[in-house]
A and B are shown apart, each in its own frame.
Chain A
């Protein structure tokens, strides 16, 4: 079966831009979704589809998905953005779902 790969940890200076990457064969066929999880809380969706943000998600979060990879970009990272970020996608066969291993974002 397929899998999604993420860098385990990334750091960014306050106010700077950071990109979190997700790679996997399924991304060639399906758009990813991205989730933010803060300590002790359930994940929250922040991006889905081509580059869609649910209501209430700041526009500093954006995404792209060229080929078999996807990126989540935070432009002007804030202290409250420190969290774990997960990408998700349908599996190549379309009926099942995958998560990446998660990226821990530290805002310095």
Chain B
């Protein structure tokens, strides 16, 4: 069974970098056909796709966040990470790591989510 688990600080100061890690079990990033996403949900709001990394190492980001986002994969291929720089209160959200499939596209396995609050 595929499982994803987010980890990282629950509190980040404004202007600093938010860094989260997603640990996989029952799956590996090196398996083709899947892409590994970060998706967030601000309090009381809808889902916002942040970006993904593919097994090839290719990355794609939401244009609205692209200048501040980096998604990378651990060499072990069982973890991938999110870095979001220069955060503000608007980045306060529950962050989910999620596996996606191509052809047709859908997000099949989700982590439980982790709340990150941006506050001084």
Contact = CB atoms under 8 A, between A and B. Distances in A.
Same complex for A and B? Answer yes
Interface in B35-72: 37, 39, 46-49, 52, 60-63
Interface size class of A (residues with CB under 8 A): 20 to 34
B28 to A, nearest CB: 21
Interface in B80-112: 96, 100, 104-108, 110-112
A99 B47 contact: yes
Q: Tell me what chain B mostly uses at the interface: helix, strand, loop, or mixed.
A: strand
A63 to B, nearest CB: 12
Interface size class of B (residues with CB under 8 A): 20 to 34
Given A42-B111, A42-B112, A44-B110, A33 B104 contact: yes
Interface of A: 1, 30-31, 33, 35, 37, 42-45, 48-50, 52, 54, 84, 86, 88-90, 95-102
22 contacts: A30-B104, A31-B105, A33-B105, A37-B47, A42-B110, A42-B113, A44-B110, A45-B106, A45-B108, A54-B108, A88-B105, A88-B106, A89-B105, A90-B105, A96-B49, A96-B61, A96-B63, A97-B100, A97-B105, A99-B46, A99-B47, A100-B46
